Structure 1
Amino acid sequence: MGLITIADHIHDIAENSVNAGAKNVYIKIIETVDTFFFSVEDDAGGIRPDILEKIFDPFVTTRKKEIRRVGLGLPFLKQATEATGGYVKIDSELGKGTKTEALFYKSHIDCQPVGNLTDTFLVLLLNQNINWQIERCYDGECYEIASKTIKEYLGHLDTPEKITLLEELLKEMESQI
């Protein structure tokens, strides 16, 4: 499936928000030596209660059947978190939005590697139709980055130079925590 790192799960959940029509997506990551917590919150209009109650069933998807017949991202996330003693939780209010939270215990033998968060953030931020806000913390040291700020300083990410500059900025911020 390709969801081999925690960063892959974050990307998958954020893409679910985009595909559901979100205009604003807030990603929060709190990492310690032993834990990795993330939440993805959107304003995409929420999930119908009948779908929400069976959201972790791999044969449930909100996509058109011509596009995708199964939805494996959330069942894989649930399996991955629970394998470490963690959890995944989804709160959704129809007409408002959805918040997905996940906790991994990194010291558990079955925990997936964190993966490349810098590349995950870069790929998401390249979609400038979405108002992204990302908060990243490691042992109390934090940084935030928002697409609004990126647009103020770089404008549209329409050249390789601007994309490289953003990538370098993300790497620098990640190295500081």
Structure 2
Amino acid sequence: MGLITISDHIHDIAENSINAKAKNVKITIKETDDKFYFSVEDDAGGIRPEILEKIFDPFVTTRKKEIRRVGLGLPFLKQATELTGGYTKINSEIGKGTKVEALFYKSNIDCQPVGDLIGTFFTLLLNSSVNWEIERCLNEECYVVTSESIKTYLGEIDSPQKMMVLKELIEELENSIKT
């Protein structure tokens, strides 16, 4: 699984939304010098209460046993956030969707590195079966990228050239908040 960076966790939670058949996923990232907060919110229909109460148990998964016998992503996320003094929260409503929130304190010696956010965003945005909204803030600077805005500017991402332009766009947006 290799959840060694915060961006790995974001990708893992977003993949959970995809696997749960979400049509719309919103990722929010608010980063400061000391804190890294993210949320992943979907409209996939929610998590049943009997699963939600055991969601951080590594032996609980909603996937077929032939596919995955254990679910380690959420327990690893919870452990990683709590090691820094942060938290992981999950709110879910049947018929509506699920929101996973996580807070890391970056100054804590146990905080994982942020990792490759650009690569994570790029990979997720290539999945055209989901309407994505990604809001990324670094201190007071923010940007938002959506599936709709990408389609407006690039059309369908159906060639290596368009994939390259998309990656460059995400890099430019990320660089714009770092200056």
Q: Report the TM-score, using the length of structure 2 for normalisation.
A: 0.98
The letter for the 2-side match of 1:14 is A
Cα distance per residue 1:36-68 (max 9 Å; x no partner) = 000000000000000000000000000000100
Shift of 1:83: 0.3
The match for 2:97 is: 97
Ranges of 4+ aligned residues in structure 1 off by more than 4 Å: none
Which position in structure 2 is the counterpart of 1:149? 149
> Residue 27 of structure 2 aligns with which residue?
27
Cα deviation for residue 145 of structure 1 reads 0.1
Q: TM-score w.r.t. structure 1 length? A: 0.99
Identical residues among aligned pairs (%): 73
Matched, 1:107 2:107: yes
2:140 & 2:13 partners in 1: Cα distance?
24
State the Cα distance separating 1:144 from its structure 2 match: 0.3
User: Shift in Å at residue 97 of structure 1?
Assistant: 0.1
Name the stretch that deviates more: 149-158 or 75-84. Answer: 149-158
Instruction: Tell me the residue number matched to 1:2.
Output: 2
Q: How many residues align?
A: 177
3-state DSSP class of the match of 2:89? Answer: strand
Equivalent residue for 1:80? 80
Gaps of 5+ in 1: none
Q: Name the counterpart of 2:66.
A: 66
RMSD: 0.4
Unmatched tracts of structure 2, length 5 or more: none
In structure 1, give the amino acid aligned to 2:6.
I
Residue 29 of structure 1 and its aligned partner are, at CA, apart by 0.2
Could you tell me how far apart the structure 2 residues matched to 1:152 and 1:105 are? 37
Residue of structure 1 equivalent to 2:49? 49
